[in-house]
A and B are shown apart, each in its own frame.
Chain A
């Protein structure tokens, strides 16, 4: 770990809800990124509007970083009790910076470096405690030796909507912060990570919720109906933000049942619709999911997982809904489940979800989680074109039959109002025309047709990604948001015999799975849940048993260190 400190700094800001920590986080992230470094942050908060304790961990690094680190290099408390929940993570190496009143006594004379800076007093000098964000931002600018002009420009741009005199007050607060930060920098107490050797100016700085929304837009999404639910709400908010630019219908539904039925009906009428929710909301959508299966409707569902059962821990993270997503909805019908491991995958898979849903006329579920959604960081430039944004529909003629039996199981999709035919669909079992039937032969033909699509979509299946040596001895299997932490943990574990097999498409399970697993002498699975749901899925398909299950279900994501510790123990 120690050889890492030089290139990678981890800063934790901790305070109460409503204090503006998120604003400060965004300011700092942008500033560090503009200074030529990679950044990544993860916010964790209590489920409340004011008070409690919220924190954000910002990693600033010369190399790409995009996972949660247990280690805290700099801790900044913003209120009484800000340090309480961090006792285990604040070690002797952690430098504590901030207002003396917020620093707990136990850290004085304890070997910790404590740098008392009256951020609050300084802020008040400039007109009030709200200026604290600018003072602290300035402090870090000074500490990192970032060009004053650049930071000033950033503040002027980001605050351009404010009155000129307010902006100037902010600049004054910023400059004072820079002065204080520069003084600390001269003491050499804190080692600052160098700039990245690679150019980060072409990297995007973006949040997990926004990447999902932009992926949807790239997939041609023009209809979003949803009911707010943590941690997925900000995906809805981002769609609303872009609705005027891209002419998107964004509707807050009265409940999730309405949301999913609206989305399905929008596809029927030629829209490209998506819903975004979390486990509890998705539970309400499952009858709608089954409807999509019955009427062979395209449908894109984003599920931002959080710990359950029931209300669980609304603002925390878990991967507990994989098997629920897989088995949800009554009756038998094909579906696709994606689980992006990083932001690039989040973007491209959401875009692809629209294409696959349309092409195969099936529901596609995108599983993320609170860790993925409430993270914020740098991602390589995204390439877009119109290849996945256009409707795959036909103009109907008078003889049109929506459920025509075909070799592939896919019937050409018509929509009402485009052509001279009628487009009839029924949640009852139906004949090729869409009319209700109780004819057993027709029933069998329609079931066979629907299920055939599982095979037809095979060539469009995304194989798992193998990271690490081809001649691995140990293999780690994972899915979704654990990707980055595992990669960083393997790198820091010093083990060169471990490879990671990561699934961004978790269902249908890719045929290559067997080949990869049988080659390993030791196989472990890493999941943010109690029962190892993906392990269960693999066992169902091929009877494979993992040697080791690394599971976490306390509501927090895996840290790099705890994974590295486990990997080192591999035999």
Chain B
């Protein structure tokens, strides 16, 4: 299917054949096409890793910064121009490992951005070490006797922090993932979508079929505004629930709390220094 976010030239994609990222990019483009957001108003932000290359393959503006630092960058972009639609795409290592402190801060700040985390429970680009979400017992060339750390549970942390929008998706289900991403983008506030996906090269345990048999979709009756239920769902790890797990629309966004935007969403670049005000402040120092 053609997307307005396709390039009119061939592009060289750095992902392995069969990688879950190919499905995710389909879902992302589909969501952006469906929402009809003007191309020039979208900014994608990423860190470093295979997932973080995704913005390179979508014809939009992007800020591919440092490993682990996508959330501060995305937060500042939105805070400098609230009229932009900001979508962060990075992996589990980048977002929950290197960038863990920023993940916690993003939950607290609640910027109106969407955070897609490609969660394949392994470090791919550095060739197969444990990630923060790797399961106990997962062996790698570094964790030779298996992972002995408790796996990081981003969904439970996000719900515990009363985050604005928390969802989990599975890359293999392009259509359903697209719909979840659409809801996340449309939601006002920080939206986390943890996207489970297989790494065909370095994770032989959590494969496509493993995810198929170890996940299930929340049913129609599930009420994502019920935090107690959401907490329960977020700590289910035997069979992992998929869908929108928690929605809290009660908090103001980061930008809404910022002084320049109290009365207008005019981006910083369209504002000018009031030189007379500055002169007045300077003059006050002579008295």
Hey, which bits of chain A sit against chain B, CB under 8 A? 201-206, 214, 217-218, 220, 222-223, 225, 242-251, 253-255, 257-259, 261-266, 268-273, 287-288, 291, 295, 381-382, 384-386, 389-391, 393, 415-428, 434-436
Contact = CB atoms under 8 A, between A and B. Distances in A.
Interface string B97-114: 000011011000000000
Given A203-B286, A248-B260, A288 B66 contact: yes
B75 A262 contact: yes
A120 to B, nearest CB: 31
A425 B87 CA distance: 15
Interface in B63-114: 63-66, 69, 72-81, 83-84, 101-102, 104-105
B84 A416 contact: yes
Interface centre among A247, A250, A259, A273 (most CB of B within 10 A): A247
Given A270-B268, A425-B62, A436-B56, 6 more contacts: A201-B286, A246-B274, A247-B271, A251-B79, A382-B282, A427-B48
B50 to A, nearest CB: 12
A258 B56 CA distance: 23
A381 B43 contact: no
Contacts of B76: 223, 225, 261-266, 269, 271, 273
Nearest to B282: A382
Contact of A204 (B55, B259, B277, B282): B282
B81 A417 contact: yes
Nearest to A205: B285
A214 B80 contact: no
B40 interface: yes
A249 B260 contact: yes
B80 A261 contact: no
A257 B72 contact: yes
Contacts of A225: 72, 76
Interface string B143-180: 00000000000000000000000000000000000000
Which 6 pairs of residues, A with B, have the shortest CB-CB distance? A270-B269, A265-B73, A271-B80, A269-B80, A262-B76, A204-B285
Given A223-B80, A247-B259, A384-B282, A258 B72 contact: yes
B77 A248 contact: no
A287 B98 CA distance: 13
Contact of B277 (A245, A266, A421): A245
A539 to B, nearest CB: 34
A164 B150 CA distance: 62
B272 A390 contact: yes
A218 B72 contact: no
- Identify which of B72, B269, B271 gathers the most chain A CB atoms within 10 Å of its CB: B72
B79 A266 contact: yes
A214 B69 contact: no
28 contacts: A214-B281, A214-B282, A245-B277, A245-B281, A246-B274, A247-B259, A247-B260, A249-B258, A249-B259, A254-B105, A255-B101, A258-B102, A263-B76, A265-B63, A265-B73, A266-B79, A269-B43, A270-B267, A270-B269, A271-B79, A382-B282, A386-B272, A391-B269, A416-B43, A417-B61, A422-B61, A422-B62, A436-B56
Contacts of B81: 269-270, 415-417
Contacts of A428: 64
Contacts of A421: 40
B125 to A, nearest CB: 12
Given A206-B285, A423-B61, A223 B268 contact: yes
A248 B69 contact: no
Nearest to B105: A254
Given A385-B275, A416-B43, A265 B77 contact: yes
B91 to A, nearest CB: 15
A255 B277 CA distance: 32
A472 to B, nearest CB: 36
Nearest to A33: B286
A74 to B, nearest CB: 26
Given A384-B279, A426-B56, A249 B84 contact: no
Given A204-B285, A271-B80, A416-B81, A384 B275 contact: yes
Contacts of B258: 249, 251
Given A262-B72, A265-B77, A246 B273 contact: yes
Given A206-B285, A245-B277, A417 B83 contact: yes
B142 interface: no
Nearest to A424: B62
A246 B273 CA distance: 7
Contact of A242 (B59, B271, B281, B286): B281
Nearest to A400: B61
Contacts of B282: 204, 214, 381-382, 384
B86 to A, nearest CB: 9
Contact of B259 (A244, A261, A385, A436): A244
Nearest to B276: A384
Contacts of B1: none
Nearest to A30: B287
Contacts of B77: 265-266, 268-269, 416
B53 interface: yes
A445 B73 CA distance: 27
A269 B40 CA distance: 12
Contacts of A390: 272-273
B41 interface: yes
B19 interface: no
A426 B79 contact: no
Contacts of A250: 259
B60 interface: yes
A222 B62 contact: no
A415 B61 CA distance: 9
Contacts of B271: 222, 247
A254 B106 CA distance: 10
Most chain A CB within a 10 A radius of its CB, from B14, B65, B101, B279: B65
A71 B5 CA distance: 71
A253 B105 CA distance: 8
Contacts of A251: 79, 258
Which of A220, A242, A269, A288 is the most central at the interface, judged by chain B CB atoms within 10 Å of its CB? A269
A310 to B, nearest CB: 21
Contacts of B267: 269-270, 417
Nearest to A386: B275
B60 A248 contact: no
A217 B101 contact: no
A425 B278 CA distance: 34
B136 interface: no
A291 B80 contact: no
A166 B275 CA distance: 37
A249 B73 CA distance: 14
A504 B84 CA distance: 39
